Amino acid sequence: MKRSIIALLMSIPFYGAAQVKSPDNLVQYAHPIVGTQKMGHTFPGATVPFGAVQLSPDTDTISYEQDGKYNPDVYKYCAGYQYEDKSIVGFSHTHFSGTGHSDLGDFLIMPTTGALQLNPGTADKPQSGYRSVYSHKTEVAEPAYYSVRLEDHNILAELTATNRVGFHQYTFPKSDQAHIILDLMAGIYNYPDKNVWTFVRVENDSLVTGYRQTNGWARTRTVYFALQFSKPFKQYGSRRYDKKQAYRGFWGRFDQTKNFPDLAGEQLRMYFDFKTTEGEKIKLKFALSPVSTDGALKNLRAEAPGWDFEQVKRQGQQLWQQELSRVAIQAAKREDKDNFYTALYHAFLSPTTYMDVDGQYRGLDQNTHKAEGFTNYTTFSLWDTYRALHPLFNLVQPKRNADMVQSMMAHFEQSAEHMLPVWSHYANENWCMIGYHSVPVIADAIVKGNTPFDANKALDACVTTARQQWYDGLGHYLQLGYVPEDKSGSSVSKTLEYAYDDWCIAQAAQKLGRQDIYQEFSKRASNWQNVYDARIGFMRPKMSDGTFRKEFDVLSTNNQGFIEGNAWNYSLYVPQDPGKLIQLMGGNQKFVPHLDSLFTMHLPDKFFAETEDITRDGIIGNYVHGNEPAHHAAYLYNWTDQPWKTQERVRMIIKRMYHPTPDGLGGNDDCGQMSAWYVFTALGFYPVAPGSDEYALGSPVVQGATLRLENGKTFTIQVKNQSDKNVYVKQATLNGKILTRPFLKHSDIVQGGELVFTMSARPVGKL
């Protein structure tokens, strides 16, 4: 696989002449295929940075629910594609990257030849439907480009995209029976009643418009499209698969199955017939809009006016080159560059653009709004991404991050609950996971001074959100100082995260001189102490009556007061005050071996089995890297007298958890959080507590790096004596001055400068 990617990258014009002047062709190092095997849940298809369209192959579209029962296999298909699969069902236009729940998979297109088959067929009998077997040998997956040979139909499929337009190019054999199928029933995390309504118009012999409305993870989601063919179809038709047949009245007079331009219903598949010559290319431009088919047409015309597939691909890859080159690294090994730029690629996939070229987007209230002065984004997997992804954006994508904050504020304005987003996508709040981690994203931006928006208004939104008594145990938390387990499950996780979010609000308030808010939330921020059971040295679920819950297993994640983490991992979750946590846990002497144990202990199989969203590869000892709650844990040694252990651990984690291969991610990439962890860690520092302006130093993987900041400044990282074995930092200097603490300030970076690490094979550092 990799060879073919590289070969192809090298062969295209962009990487010829242009390469001489540009620093390096970075696109060659980013591999969309990474994470498509096992639990990574990434997609291999074509998209531009933060693009609204993710045009990607789906290898199955199995139903979430079948015969009234949950089908656990559906989980594998969060991104539509599993590397092991032998057949491709088709190419759909929207995909999450790395999520553990899912949705989307809108508008599946499949080109076929031979007798028309309108059902997708099954994985074990691919010839029973329109799907096709394929081989990874013919597969090319690059940023903004994907291609594969559809063997059953003898068609070469190529995909690229602009922000809002998926661009397909299918090279057909000679055939009197060439078809393009548009399956409007297909979808990811599908189930029998997910499709609420579908509406299609065949506007003329080469233009189709419509929309699809679903009730899935997003409760009320509508995506509009405009589909333009490069060649008029000979004829077209459709089939309805609705279980229910509503009143049809006088429509019954018309044969709506053939060449009928006006279709609607719940379950619909369409086909468009062509006659092709050998090697004939049929191209499709498939534009999306959150607002209307008019909007989709506008997007189509603005972004993809022509039919030059290579040009669109070139433009897409130029965009990637531009974004990836915000961080230019030097590395000893190709693998390090592959890992780094693949991680940066995955970090720059979402949040995704959610507005038309004219700024119109659908709000939470389902009204059409206009984004004035910012790009509206959607797909906020905030429980994951507040940790490292948004801090990464504050550093290398500050403009986008500020726009994301503005998108969250728009969400707040539109929210019937008067809440900032929890997990939002496509004009919906899906409430996934716990807390309200818009707050650390906003606080981080405020504290770091990245506020080309009304910071006080943003703070007010945080405060309003944090006072919603009805929300998920928050009323109890305000009353008792913790979430009582008998009132609200996952109570410890909630308490810890509320307390951290409180601290974030306090920091932002302090920065903005809002003392009353600072006082109120600083007080709340220490609530984490209320669930610490000093007798056992772990955070522990507490009941309304103030007693700790009796039944309790520190290794289990099932019903123990935690979510996506056990007490071992979650008890370390006090990013706002590791010093105090270490003190409560008995000081350095007790804490360091305790933290060591996390990485070295043996987790019995029965506990592994219940750990969500990750493979065995995602766990080191009892440290779960495949989930987020302990992502900061390896950096906690920096608050002890043995920061060299952080350096050792993070290099070990990187070695174990990130590979430039399809199975190279040990858990869900979670919209880029896992990748952002890599990017920071590889550069040698990490934002343990977003909302502070401090980074904890670790051990860089790169040999050097240049951060080209949006303010025009440059921050360079030099790593002397770098090697696989030299994982310890002997000395670090900032602008020539020796660092005496293993921390770095955000302001140190954004004002430009140079950080020099000198590495060693032994922990001899004085940091």
Name residues whose C-beta falls within 8 Å of residue 92's C-beta, 6 or more positions apart in sequence.
Answer: 55, 56, 58, 80, 104, 105, 106, 107, 108, 109, 186, 187, 188
Q: Report the C-alpha gap between 534 and 169 in whole angstroms.
A: 63
CB nearer to its own copies: pick between 115 and 250: 250
Of residues 310 and 413, the one with the C-beta less far from its own copies: 413
Q: Which is nearer to its own copies, 219 or 713 (CB)?
A: 219
CA-to-CA dists, residue 546 to 112, 195, 557, 630, angstroms = 65, 47, 22, 27
Nearer to its own copies among residue 276 and residue 292 (C-beta) = 292
CA dist., res. 711 & res. 346, Å (int): 24
To its own copies, the closest distance from the beta carbon of 542 in angstroms equals: 19
Q: Toward its own copies, which CB reaches closer, 94 or 293?
A: 293
Using the structure block, give the residue that is written with the tokens 């305000």: 478
64 versus 170: smaller Cβ distance to its own copies: 64
Place of tokens 């306090």: 506
User: CB-based contacts of 222: which residues, under 8 Å, 6+ apart?
Assistant: 211, 212, 213, 214, 290, 362
Q: If you search the block for the tokens 């979670």, which residue do you land on?
A: 670
Nearer to its own copies, 65 or 460 (CB): 65
Nearest-approach distance from CB 415 to its own copies, in angstroms: 8
C-alpha span between 260 and 281 (Å, rounded): 26
> What single letter denotes the amino acid at residue 227?
L
Q: Please answer whether residues 373 and 424 qualify as being in contact, where contact means their C-beta atoms are separated by less than 8 angstroms.
A: no
Nearer to its own copies, 199 or 677 (CB): 199
Close Cβ partners of 304 (under 8 Å, ≥ 6 residues apart): 162, 165, 167, 285, 287, 312
Which C-beta is closer to its own copies: that of 73 or that of 262?
262
Q: Is the dihedral of CA 215, 218, 224, 227 positive or negative?
A: negative
CA dist 736 → 127, 680, 707, 717 (Å): 66, 22, 18, 12
Pairing state between β 728-734 and 685-686: unpaired
- Which phi and psi (to 5°) does residue 741 adopt? -125, 150
- C-alpha to C-alpha distances, 98 to 338, 381, 407, 627, nearest whole angstrom: 18, 10, 21, 12
Give whichever of 100 and 666 is closer to its own copies, judged by the CB atom: 100
Residue 207 CB, nearest approach to its own copies (Å): 11
To its own copies, the closest distance from the beta carbon of 250 in angstroms equals 4
Burial class (CB in 10 A: 0-12, 13-18, 19+), 247: exposed
Q: Report which residue type is found at 133.
A: V
Minimum distance from residue 101 beta carbon to its own copies (Å): 7
> Whose structure tokens read 């007061």?
561
CB of 385 to its own copies, least distance (A): 17
Work out how close the CB of 432 gets to its own copies at its nearest, in angstroms, rounded to a whole number: 5
List interacting residues with its own copies (CB under 8 A). Answer: 64-65, 101, 189, 191-194, 196-197, 199, 201-203, 209, 211, 213, 215-217, 219-220, 244, 246-247, 249-251, 253-254, 259, 261-262, 264, 292-294, 365-368, 416-417, 422-423, 429-433, 470, 472
**Is the bond into 351 cis (omega within 30 degrees of 0)?**
yes
Identify which of residues 260 and 552 has a Cβ nearer to its own copies in the complex.
260
Q: How far is the CB of 191 from its own copies (least distance, A)?
A: 6
In this complex, which beta carbon is closest to its own copies, that of residue 268 or of residue 331? 268
Query: How would you label 3-28 residue by residue, b for 16+ Cβ within 10 Å and e otherwise?
Result: ebbbebbeeeebbeeeeeeeebbbbb
Smallest distance, its own copies to C-beta of residue 119, A: 23
Q: Which residue has the tokens 């418009």?
A: 209
Q: Kindly state the smallest distance separating residue 38's Cβ from its own copies, in Å.
A: 23
Q: Compare residues 20 and 246 and give the one whose CB is closer to its own copies.
A: 246
Minimum Å gap between C-beta 363 and its own copies is 9
Closest approach of Cβ 70 to its own copies, in Å? 10
Structural tokens at position 720: 């002397």
As measured in angstroms, the least distance from the Cβ of 164 to its own copies is: 17
Q: What dihedral angle (degrees, nearest 10) is formed by the CA atoms of 314, 316, 320, 322?
A: 70
Among 579, 405, 576, residue whose Cα is nearest residue 507: 576
